[in-house]
């Protein structure tokens, strides 16, 4: 019985890691396929959220909206602090 519980925990962790690390386009397509099945509302809500395209302010520089954002110009001072050991 203990081995079964451990196997289920490992399987759930593996599924979570795969879902988190997969590309968003693949995650969206899998979520859309999963929404075609009859799922409990809590799972369907999570898949609906994953099926929506990412917002423009997600933090990546590859969305095309970066050209509209102001760019800091000028010289910025960098300060190095010596570590006292």
Q: What digits encode the pLDDT tens for the residues 3-41?
A: 999 999 999 999 999 988 999 889 899 999 988 988 888
Is 34 a domain residue?
Answer: yes
Is residue 62, in this structure, part of any structural domain at all? no
Range of the domain at 41: 2-55
On whether residue 61 sits in a domain, the answer given is no
Within a domain: 65: no
Q: In this structure, are residues 49 and 19 in contact, taking their beta carbons and an 8 Å threshold?
A: no
12 inside domain: yes
Q: How many domains does the chain have?
A: 1
Task: Tell me the C-alpha to C-alpha distance, in Å, between residue 40 and each of 28, 32, 44, 45, 61.
Answer: 19, 15, 6, 9, 36
User: Which tops the pLDDT comparison, 53 or 31?
Assistant: 31
Identify whether 66 is part of a domain. no
Mean pLDDT of the 41-61 span: 73
């Amino acid at each position: 019985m203990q081995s079964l519980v451990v196997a289920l925990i490992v399987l759930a962790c593996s599924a979570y890691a795969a879902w988190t690390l997969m590309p968003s386009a693949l995650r969206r397509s899998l979520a859309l396929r999963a929404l075609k099945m009859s799922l409990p509302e809590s799972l369907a809500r999570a898949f609906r959220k994953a099926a929506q395209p990412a917002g423009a302010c997600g933090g990546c520089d590859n969305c095309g909206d970066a050209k509209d954002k102001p760019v800091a110009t000028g010289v910025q001072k960098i300060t190095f602090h010596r570590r006292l050991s």
